[in-house]
Amino acid sequence: MEKKYTLWQRITSDTPSFFKKVQILGAGLVTLSISLTGIGIIPVAITAVMATVGTTVAAVAQFAVKQTEPGNTSSNETK
């Protein structure tokens, strides 16, 4: 049976390495969109969408929780 986490436990728990990379990708999208805002040729709507997608990806990846191996059950339960 899987463990139920509260919102605070999900935010503060350890994140799997894949989702840490996804967080970095999301932060990179936000940074890129901010830097492209200064270029006059690129529409603001495109940079706004990039910033929204990057923020959403980074926030959703934060809620992933590293699963731990279940402990060995005692032999009394199986008999």
User: What's the pTM value of the predicted model, to 2 decimals?
Assistant: 0.68
For 21-36, write each residue's pLDDT tens digit: 999 999 999 999 999 9
Gap between the Cα atoms of 59 and 19, Å rounded: 10
Instruction: Please state the separation of Cα 44 from the chain's center in Å.
Output: 26
Report which residue type is found at 23: Q
Gap between the Cα atoms of 5 and 79, Å rounded: 31
For 19-73, write each residue's pLDDT tens digit: 889 999 999 999 999 999 888 788 999 999 999 999 999 999 888 877 665 554 4
The pair of structure tokens assigned to 75 is: 């032999």
Gap between the Cα atoms of 34 and 48, Å rounded: 9
| Domain boundaries, given as residue ranges, for the chain | 16-61
